[in-house]
Structure 1
Amino acid sequence: MSDPAEPVILTDPLVPEAVDGYVEAIDPPDTKLKMTADAAEISGIRLLDAAAKARGD
């Protein structure tokens, strides 16, 4: 059994969506977010894209 204080390392990037002027990410963890470098990079790009869509850019 894993230690509940130890965050899970995400290997898949987040999948954010623009929804009514804000950005929503489904199933982010409830605690500290720990990601691989690749997952973080892709998530960052996806968050920027969703932010632009949410603003109507």
Structure 2
Amino acid sequence: MTKKSDINNNKIQKYHMVSIFLSYLHMIKNQTSITTKFKNTIWLVFFYHIYI
């Protein structure tokens, strides 16, 4: 049995994660350096796998 509060907390966490994810995507998009993009992409994939 999952409590309603647990479900809400999970939603909040997911929402928070998505907003962070989007801000990182935005950051990557604005960068010109390919190596920085590459590093950030790897970091993002890593981050994504931890939280989902």
TM-score, L = length of structure 1: 0.43
Higher strand residue share: 1
TM-score, L = length of structure 2: 0.46
Bigger Rg over Cα: 2
Higher helix residue share: 2
